[in-house]
Amino acid sequence: MMKNGALQKSKQWNVKGAIWLAGVFHFLHSCGSGCLLPFLTLYFRHLGLNATMIGIIMASKHLLALVWRPLSSVLTRQYDKRRTVIVGSLLSSALVVLTLLLFPSTGIQAESGRCNASQPDTDPTTILEWATIPSQSNATVYSINQTSVSTEQPVEVTTVVSSNWSARGLRSVKKPQQEEDPHTEFLGSLKVMDVQHQMFFLVLIVMGLWEFMAAPLEWTADDGLYEYLDFVDATDHHNGVKVWKQLGAAFGNCAVGVLVTSLFCLTGTTLEFYSYTTFMILTVPTAALLPIYLRKRERPTSAGFKALQLVRGNLQAILCAVTVILMGMVNSAVSDFLLWHMQDCGAMEIHMGVSLALAHLSQTGFAPIAGHLSQFLKYHGWLLVLAVVSLALQCLYYSFLWGPWAVIPAQLLAGFSTGALWWSVTSQSEDIATPGTEKTILRLFEALSLELGAAFGSLAAGFVVQKFGVQVLFQGTAVILALWSSALAVLKWKIPRQRQINYSRLLAADTEMSESESDQEKDWLETAMEDATGNNKCIIDKS
């Protein structure tokens, strides 16, 4: 009677419709994030901030998310304010980010030659040789060679910029200035700081406020959908939403790259910010209809501490945690400064957008083969080693880029680095989980990689790029990952594998199964586990 009643109750819930609506929500939100987030460090470079300052800003963003995202998730669940928080986060983050457009650039700027403006008549013999222009940060060296022929053909302008700055997005030459009136200088009241540090603290404040507004959204929406599906015993459909996040990010990367390149002379890089704001506003209607299960107020649970204890008590899980932190550090360094390196190689936004989109599509394409690959390797833990090796090869390749499209082969490896990493981490979470902790353990690994590891990675990468350059950063990370992959392989082989059995999930598969089977055959526990986990996990030995 109870089972029939549960089935009748579940028919009242439109699971397919809920998954479709959640997919649209995450697609639009990821489109907006893909339009702006990967290009932020380039915009900060355009504002005149150096690599160290940008590393500090990005590290602060990750650390704030590390603390505020789980805290806000608990508070919104306790007070049943999820939909309010989601809509408020979308609107407030869409408006706050536009504040960055109010700040004028403080860096040395030179005409890039991307906009074919009409050139004034010049003396054919005029040649502007190498010149050094002082700046608040590092000196920039540039040259402009002007040539002309008797037929009054267009003047050829060539700009050479040092590794600290590139020609993209730079409009006019900033001439050395004499002492300015404090009332006319930008933020003249802060005379104790130079203009560059004024800009640094302003951007830091705005980014902190923006992250405070945006951080609660993803976990809050995800929790609401998961509990909605859990109420009708349909949590197996929850992972189907993830593919829409990757597709949305790929679309946003590619679309904004094409648009900014085409309209650069009219809009510059501001189109990236307006695209983000537009997509956040477009996401609001779907957020208002997003399936969210409303439950009675509950006391805050200690699921996070339980998950931490489970990870700490398993040596394989500790290895996984160390690996995701290291991978998070490297991925953050790549995310922050790969586009810098591409820019110095002559890449424009269309090259960057397409390459970023290919990385997301590569991760999406890895999912269908992950189960077969895990079965071939006999143990999903070896996918973790494969992920580290793949990222090491990517970083080594990045250090030798020679042109705008040269990055493409390395981006196609993202499926075997990022994709394999999270497939292995998900399987590891299931290995050590007790009933009700699977999702929390996976969240713990995500926080260690995407926030804690990313914070350390951004901070360290900023200092390395400032002192040694981008190429040294990528070569150094490749060496570190290669060493860790060797150590990880040895430790994976030496440390025995331990697994927790999720009895509640297995009992739900068949509560009326008889335990009178012969010892010569597989018992019901093994059969249920095979049906529940498929080919991506090893079968528990009866011994």
Q: Where are the domains of the chain?
A: 12-106+195-297, 107-176, 301-510+523-538
Share of the chain above pLDDT 70, in %: 72
Cα angle for residues 353, 459, 487 (degrees, 5° grid):
90
Say what the pLDDT of residue 517 is: 42
What's the CATH code, domain 301-510+523-538?
Answer: 1.20.1250.20
The answer, yes or no, to whether residue 294 has pLDDT greater than 60, is: yes
Identify the three-state secondary structure at position 405. Answer: coil
Q: Is the dihedral of CA 309, 313, 317, 319 positive or negative?
A: positive
Alpha-helical segments (H) within 290-419? 303-312, 315-344, 349-376, 381-398, 408-411, 414
Q: Which residue has the tokens 């304010």?
A: 81
Q: Which three-class secondary structure state does DSSP give residue 511?
A: coil
262 pLDDT band, cuts 50/70/90, is very high
For the cut 70, the answer to whether the pLDDT of residue 237 exceeds it is yes
Indicate if 301-510+523-538 has the same CATH topology as 12-106+195-297: yes
Residue 131 clears pLDDT 50, i.e. is over it:
no
- Entry pTM: 0.78
Question: 320-341: per-residue pLDDT in tens?
Answer: 999 999 999 999 999 999 999 9
Query: CATH assignment of 12-106+195-297, given 3.30.1280.10, 1.20.1250.20, 2.60.120.10, 1.10.150.120?
Result: 1.20.1250.20
User: Helix (H) and strand (E) counts for the chain?
Assistant: 22, 2
Residue 291 banded pLDDT, cuts 50, 70, 90? confident
pLDDT of amino acid 412 = 92
- What token pair was written down for 488? 């990880």
- The rounded percent of the chain whose pLDDT value lies above 90 is 52
- What integer best gives the mean pLDDT of the chain? 79
The pLDDT of residue 253 is above 80: yes
C-alpha span between 389 and 377 (Å, rounded): 15
pLDDT, tens only, 430-466: 888 888 788 899 999 999 999 999 999 999 999 999 9
Please state, in angstroms and rounded to a whole number, the distance separating the CA atoms of residues 63 and 57: 10
Tokens of 196: 């560059």
Q: What is the 3-state secondary structure (H, E, C) of 186-230?
A: CCCCCCCCCHHHHHHHHHHHHHHHHHHHHCHHHHHHHHHHHHHHH
Mean local confidence (pLDDT), 476-489: 96
Which residue, among 102, 56, 95, 59, has the nearest Cα to 332 in the 3D structure? Answer: 59
Vertex 451: Cα angle to 453 and 274 (nearest 5):
130
Point out which residues pair with 133 in neighbouring strands.
Answer: 140
Most confident stretch, 70-74, 123-127, 233-237: 70-74
Distance CA 317, CA 378 (A): 18
The larger pLDDT score, comparing residue 291 to residue 484, is at 484
